[in-house]
Structure 1
């Protein structure tokens, strides 16, 4: 058993009345209510994509007594209405989370994107990181969200890693600390619980824990000098919550428990040596630990679900993220508690950590006063002029010219009037995907400036006569809007067909510019490109500013990290 929580100490800092509420609430609970507090349920606007649950929201609250909620999609107004209804119908107020790692767009479809971790790093400006946290907190709090499952404090050591390619704030501990501290200072301007992830650290390998067990292969000393420094920094600064990833840390696990063999290595979510011994005892983390999503293969492939549902809590996690089948999972957890897999001491400690955060947010007193629910007028902050100006500033500082070795820039309607636009996109119909109207947005913006744009059909291999191509095309503009999640271990350019005419065969025929609106390492698949820009996002402000910068109306201010070259000498040519 790791160290027990001290609710008077950081990060809770509760007074006697708040602690009394926590303890009295636990004492009054049935076994079922205790078990329910350990779960965070995922709500959908429409069909439940994961569990197929058909219960009403009110039925879920009444039958399963959940402690936390997250949701998928929705406008700010829809989100606020959902959260208000959940809080109104819940006996004990809920922790409600969103994934705002780059702004309010993580809380609602119409929230304001500011800057991803990669964009903050490229800007070199902590103000951009602060603003991303500030807008995230203000917009999600207006909707009723009170927990932010971000930032990612991972270190992007492996250029092949696309899981945190855009979410990580740097390739070394110093940068990650500097920029995530700034983000969290901005987030702290709102009444929102801070949650960092993915313990014990992503970014060293290329695979995705949604699909396979993640492994951080660093030695004890290497981990201490990198991820260890990052986590100690945030624990010392009072972060309230840490999300455990489905990531193993074998070298450290074996150092902590010499009896472990390779076959015994489990992800952090199920490894007491990583949660109880390393995080809560050695690093003295006194806050709450939540698992990453429990439908991810890094966890589901470890053992039977019946076993790992309660074992996650026994290992030291305090909340369990998402149900598979709500009735079955609830039963697994209840059985694990009643048969002693989860001891009474561990259950009480987990509940204190969960309810302690609710008390820190004063959710109990707000519920009693009738001030817990949000008013629609608070949504005026979403997409406000102040936030849009911060988005513009972040775009200006972050957009990065990685190289222009052919001196193709600047462009203008006078010299590059006829543009052939090539759009590269990722998976369709996934959890996250690129914008379907991005080609039209780019075309409209270019046309308004006097260019003539022809959208290329990449489904054909036909290239045509090269002389004719040169006579008809003044600029080839290749734009990657590849966004993917949980379907591949590594997201790369997927050409529309074999030997597609969109592969940049034309770099010596006409001036060619490649712009990525998401992943930063596409030079690996397009090393022949001589002018390459990382723009980090596909919002309309970014598209406008990219074109401004291509035209020389505004200078490129972002700085790339070494990962953009993908360890390919050709990429620098």
Structure 2
């Protein structure tokens, strides 16, 4: 059984006794419920009563909302729990992403691009403090994937970089910052994303590295972070054919499964060779990367049997609980495997001290929310952004652009669709205009055909807009063009690229031959595949006020570029990206 006295639990005799006594006192339904982390899609109390008291879940994750509502939601959930809940958050970019009013510090890539490793610490510090104020105690971070394939956009901004060394250095510092709060970490996504170019949300993806190369790269990362004390690991719906066949040489290609369902990866590799003693959980169970592999009724118990201790999100709680019970009754999940999973679940709770906390102290008071979006955290975001903004190229020497020499700016916004979070993807453009005007520019914002039609303009089409925009008067009206691109998103497509507003849209940088043109990416690092004609490209990493302000400061020469970048920006050296 599990040695809870060992890292990362490091429990004393009293805490171990609480774990074992609690398990012994539980009914089978209560034991099976502990295996699940529910995605709370409602803040209604009757809903929470059913989830927490009825299904006996071990943990919850909530949908984004303003921080006061989230905190009260968590407070009520904990009040209904017989055993304290693990409450998860996703502080990948700071407080943003977990709550509507959280501080957006930067992305993982932004922290990896800063010359200061401690900016990764600051990212984890802000994320941990802001989610702890809500009552969260478990972070689904850091992300320790290696961005080896420039076409991979699901972790393009969510990885610290393209080498094991940078990922190890920055992930450790992130973990250290996160650990300043009362929060356990769950690094992800084992066995490692970033080799396949696709997104496991919509298709099973594969880490195809051989056993030796995997150990020299991803394996090195996992060994380093396990030794550093990370408490839990999230398993991706990512197959690893060469690794699976290393442990099961008789396996056929058709038998290769995503790691969440593959005991040779979870037990033989992660538990065995890597020696991980902490809690293991699946990634979200509705991802097609998992659901395409086998029937749901088989997959639910199979994930636990494979070595995952917790199952992330119900599809239908009554069905999923029935499936796991049937799996237990028919022997797919043995009593020993269930006991082991429960020891690790309760062991993680005890390692956080939840077992000795009074129920009313599991969630801090309303005053704790003052840290969210605080002046201190906004100052950290500004400092990190200033460090991270990178000049990828300026082959024509367009910079600096100053109001004294390039007063009239044509401003373009390249915007992706709003993703599943519902966040407005176009709010950055008003910020960009305001920051440019504050710097002294006269800003003229371009509107595409769809925007003009939405405002009631008649007889406007993509070719009429091009006719209006693209003529010999352009350089007489504008001294320079600046494009801000906020093309984000994952979980809805296998890759993310620029989608122009219309065919032959007037915002496409045809004007690079007419006036100095600067392209500023607020998210993806791989835009040169779509805009190789741009001679000046800046990566600001985030659509925040702080990042946009820092980018404008550097474009005007008011401060120096200090951010770094890796070879992925050249998009595999597609012809023209470096010109």
TM bracket (short chain) = over 0.9
Residue by residue over 1:9-48, the C-alpha shift from the partner in whole angstroms, topping out at 9 and shown as x without a partner, is: 011111111111111111111111011000000013579x
Q: What is residue 82 of structure 1 aligned with on the other side?
A: 73
SS in 2 for 1:467: coil
What stretches of structure 1 of length at least 5 have no aligned partner? 48-53
SS in 1 for 2:409: strand
What stretches of structure 2 of length at least 5 have no aligned partner? 450-461
Q: What is residue 536 of structure 1 aligned with on the other side?
A: 541
Q: What is residue 160 of structure 1 aligned with on the other side?
A: 151
Q: Once structures 1 and 2 are overlaid, which stretch shifts more, 219-228 or 72-81?
A: 72-81
Tell whether 2:406 aligns with 1:409: no
Q: Distance in 2 between matches of 1:238 and 1:448?
A: 46
Tell me how far 1:429 sits from its aligned partner.
5.2
Q: Distance in 2 between matches of 1:445 and 1:397?
A: 18
Q: Distance in 1 between matches of 2:55 and 2:358?
A: 20
Deviation beyond 4 Å, 4+ runs, structure 1 = none
Q: Distance in 1 between matches of 2:335 and 2:417?
A: 46
Residue by residue over 1:122-152, the C-alpha shift from the partner in whole angstroms, topping out at 9 and shown as x without a partner, is: 1121110110111111111111100000011
SS in 2 for 1:162: coil
Q: What is residue 363 of structure 2 aligned with on the other side?
A: 373
Q: Distance in 2 between matches of 1:271 and 1:429?
A: 31
Q: What is residue 507 of structure 1 aligned with on the other side?
A: 512
Choose from 344, 351, 354 the match for 2:335: 344
Tell me how far 1:432 sits from its aligned partner.
5.5
Tell whether 2:500 aligns with 1:495: yes
Tell me how far 1:77 sits from its aligned partner.
1.4
TM-score in terms of structure 2 length: 0.95
SS in 1 for 2:358: helix
Tell whether 2:351 aligns with 1:394: no
Tell me how far 1:327 sits from its aligned partner.
1.2
**Considering only aligned residues, what root-mean-square deviation do their CA atoms show, in Å?**
1.5
SS in 1 for 2:568: helix
Tell me how far 1:309 sits from its aligned partner.
0.5
Q: What is residue 562 of structure 2 aligned with on the other side?
A: 557
Q: Distance in 1 between matches of 2:256 and 2:214?
A: 17
Q: 1:335 to 1:258 in 2, by over 3 A?
A: same
Tell me how far 1:435 sits from its aligned partner.
3.1
Residues 146 and 191 in structure 1, CA contact (< 8 A), matched pair in contact too = yes
1:228-307 alignment runs, 5 A limit: 228-307=219-298
Q: Distance in 1 between matches of 2:124 and 2:51?
A: 32
Residue by residue over 1:374-412, the C-alpha shift from the partner in whole angstroms, topping out at 9 and shown as x without a partner, is: 101111111222212211110111001101111111112
Residue by residue over 1:167-188, the C-alpha shift from the partner in whole angstroms, topping out at 9 and shown as x without a partner, is: 1111111111011111111111
Residues 425 and 434 in structure 1, CA contact (< 8 A), matched pair in contact too = no
SS in 1 for 2:510: coil
Q: What is residue 471 of structure 2 aligned with on the other side?
A: 466
Q: 1:429 to 1:292 in 2, by over 3 A?
A: closer
TM-score in terms of structure 1 length: 0.96
Residue by residue over 1:163-217, the C-alpha shift from the partner in whole angstroms, topping out at 9 and shown as x without a partner, is: 1111111111111101111111111111111110000000011100001001000
Tell me how far 1:367 sits from its aligned partner.
3.2
Q: Once structures 1 and 2 are overlaid, which stretch shifts more, 429-438 or 311-320?
A: 429-438
Q: Distance in 2 between matches of 1:359 and 1:13?
A: 10
Q: What is residue 578 of structure 2 aligned with on the other side?
A: 572
Q: Distance in 1 between matches of 2:534 and 2:424?
A: 22
Residues 61 and 89 in structure 1, CA contact (< 8 A), matched pair in contact too = yes
How many correspondences in the alignment? 563
SS in 1 for 2:519: strand
Q: Once structures 1 and 2 are overlaid, which stretch shifts more, 480-489 or 54-63?
A: 54-63
Q: What is residue 26 of structure 1 aligned with on the other side?
A: 23
